[in-house]
């Protein structure tokens, strides 16, 4: 058992909704996210990789990143990635798993919350220009490979909000019941918000990113990468994670 | 232009064989390798992902990692990854590129040096057991995704030996000519070896890995990960890179 055993590990001794388990997963995901953003930031923005049909007809209507993401998700779907309750695809036309299913037990209520379309938009048009040097270095394939890694890590972090919300709800259903019954998203958002925890996350991410960026030559001196990573958490990751929590609770906890 | 512009960037101002350029690429690749090994090491060895047909007939004769690597290389080949002089595939039945070719100029002599079969063997059976906690945590997909990232990073580092060798040869052809003419691999190996440089690489990798592992909870207390990364450089990466240099010089510089 590793210190960072993800949700899908069907360990008989560890409850995937236990708040300490959830916390360990989220803390370890910080490395995955920071490493993948550092890797992407060594290449220029290369905006052409996000443009549909930028290379003529060869990309079948996708952008270069879209094609690579789609092909990657097809393979991962066959290897049952999206049967896990903490993995959500960007595409909905994926093949069924070829591996036998794992049993996860009932972790989450059935729901269709998926913020990946918004995440991809934000990533391609706000996060990449925020961390990468401007311009085009023709490293399209390398950029795209790191985009896939970053998008998958960010998606997992954002959608872990479902697990966080389910865990909070089970500990204290009364705190949410009336707001959920009324469909009051603002009140649910207030109930799930814990500002001291958010501040602790941001401080830890900033400290880690400072450490991990220390050896690197800055590629985009206008925005130091360690500061950029903390800002990405504050501006996009934490808010989208909270949106997932609210949408999940609205869908799932009214019964 | 980033500090780590890889070889394939057809910049008019930077010679891909310039020794300072080569050095910058290799130094930046250290992050890619260390990050990918840290990511893999959070999961158990999961030996089953390296066993052919471990899941019955569904993997088409591959292991789980083999299937994912093959599918990944098919997509990357279509996006012209292996037209770059510093990228070599593990499989030889890949589709042609769908993107138009980039012009790299003549960087390397034509050659068929490819140590990926040996690298994959070493990685799956020596490196993974060296860095990962023993046992099986059922995180097969996550392990395999990180295996692909690690294998691709290690392959690039090992095969960069071709660029290193070409650069050394062009600076001082006389130092190699007789050994190459005689096919004397041992003498070529001596001529390309620079022990102070190797020691500096190992010291830098150890320092970086110490930094990058500082925030992590050790998953395999028997082998501290930072020490393991430095050992992997000393035991496998540097020797295989030198093998590539020798084989390349034997094939290419006899004319």
Residue A6 is predicted with a pLDDT of: 41
Nearest to A2 among B43, B67, B145 (CB): B43
How far A44 CA sits from the closest chain B CA (Å)?
Answer: 7
The whole-number pLDDT of residue A139 equals 94
Higher pLDDT, B60 or B76: B76
Q: Within the 2-61 window of chain B, which residues sit less than 8 Å (CB to CB) from chain A?
A: 2-6, 8-10, 28, 31-32, 35, 38-39, 42-44, 55, 58-59
Q: What's the token pair of residue B230? A: 């430095």
Q: What distance in Å separates residue A162's CA from the closest CA in chain B? A: 20
CB < 8 Å from A in window 161-220 of B: 208, 211-212, 214-219
Q: Which residues in chain B are closer than 8 Å to A59, comparing Cβ atoms?
A: 98
Classify residue B126 by its DSSP letter: I
Q: What is the rounded CA–CA span in Å between residue B41 and residue A119?
A: 28
For an interface test with B, which of A26, A142, A229 has the most B Cβ atoms less than 10 Å from its Cβ?
A142
Position A56 confidence tier, pLDDT thresholds 50, 70, 90: confident
Nearest to A9 among B4, B137, B214 (CB): B137
Contacts of B74 in chain A (CB under 8 A): 71
CA-to-CA distance for B46 and B104, rounded, in angstroms?
40
The model's pLDDT over B123-172, given as tens digits with 9 standing for 90+, comes to 999 999 999 999 999 999 999 999 999 999 999 999 999 999 999 999 99
Least confident piece of the model among A41-45, A51-55, B27-31, B200-204: A51-55
The reply to whether ipTM tops 0.90 is: yes
Is the minimum CB–CB distance between B76 and chain A shorter than 8 Å?
yes
Convert the pLDDT of each residue in A60-93 to its tens digit: 899 999 999 999 999 999 999 999 999 999 999 9
pLDDT digits (tens, 9 = 90+) for B200-255: 999 999 999 999 998 887 777 777 899 999 999 999 999 999 999 999 999 987 65
Q: What would the mean pLDDT of A224-237 be, rounded to a whole number?
A: 95
- What pLDDT, on the 0 to 100 scale, is given for residue B56? 82
Cα B153 versus chain centre, distance:
5
**Residue A9 pLDDT:** 44
pLDDT at A1 over 60: no
Residue B86 CB partners (closer than 8 Å, separation 6+): B6, B7, B8, B25, B156, B159, B160, B162, B163
- Prediction pTM value: 0.93
Q: Convert the pLDDT of each residue in A179-224 to its tens digit.
A: 999 999 999 999 999 999 999 999 999 999 999 998 887 777 777 8
| Residue A52 burial class via C-beta count within 10 angstroms: exposed 0-12, middle 13-18, buried 19 and up | exposed
pLDDT at A254 over 80: no
Residue-wise pLDDT for A7-26, tens only, equals 444 444 578 889 899 999 99
Query: B84-115 pLDDT, tens per residue?
Result: 999 999 999 999 999 988 877 888 999 999 99
The whole-number pLDDT of residue B14 equals: 72
Average pLDDT, chain B: 91
Give the 3-state DSSP-derived string for chain A, with helices as H, strands as E and coil as C: CCCCCCCCCCCCCCCCCCHHHHHHHHHHHHHHHHHHHHHHHCCCCCHHHHCCCCCHHHHCCCCHHHHHHHHHHHHHHHCCHHHCCCCCCCCCCCCCCCCCCCCCCCCCCCCCCCCHHHHHHHHHHHHHHHHCCCCCCCCHHHHHHHHHHHHHHHHHHHHCHHHHHHHHHHHCCHHHHHHHHHCCHHHHHHHHCCHHHHHHHHHHHHHHHHHHHCCCCCCCCCCCHHHHHHHHHHHHHHHHHHHHHHHHHHHHCCC
Asked if B100 reaches chain A (Cβ–Cβ under 8 Å), the answer is: yes
What pLDDT sits at residue A13? Answer: 57
């Amino acid at each position: 058992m590793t210190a960072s055993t993800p949700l899908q590990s069907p360990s008989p001794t560890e409850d995937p909704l236990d708040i300490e388990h959830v916390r360990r997963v989220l803390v370890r995901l910080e490395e995955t996210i920071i490493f993948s953003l550092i890797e992407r930031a060594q290449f220029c923005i290369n905006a052409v990789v996000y443009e549909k049909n930028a290379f003529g007809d060869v990309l079948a209507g996708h952008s270069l990143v879209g094609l690579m993401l789609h092909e990657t998700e097809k393979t991962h779907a066959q290897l049952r990635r999206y049967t896990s309750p903490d993995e959500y695809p960007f595409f909905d036309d994926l093949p069924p798993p070829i591996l036998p299913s794992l049993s996860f037990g009932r972790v989450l209520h059935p729901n269709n919350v998926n913020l990946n379309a918004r995440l991809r938009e934000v990533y391609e048009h706000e996060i990449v220009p925020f961390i990468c040097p401007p311009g085009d270095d023709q490293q399209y394939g390398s950029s795209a490979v790191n985009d896939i890694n970053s998008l998958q890590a960010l998606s997992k972090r954002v959608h872990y909000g479902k697990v966080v919300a389910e865990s909070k709800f089970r500990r204290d259903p009364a705190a949410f019941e009336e707001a959920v019954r009324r469909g009051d998203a603002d009140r649910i958002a207030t109930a799930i918000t814990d500002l001291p925890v958010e501040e602790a996350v941001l401080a830890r991410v900033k400290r880690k990113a400072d450490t991990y960026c220390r050896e690197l030559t800055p590629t985009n001196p206008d925005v130091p990468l360690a500061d950029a990573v903390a800002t990405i958490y504050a501006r996009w990751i934490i808010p989208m994670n909270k949106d997932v929590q609210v949408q999940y609770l609205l869908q799932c906890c009214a019964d």
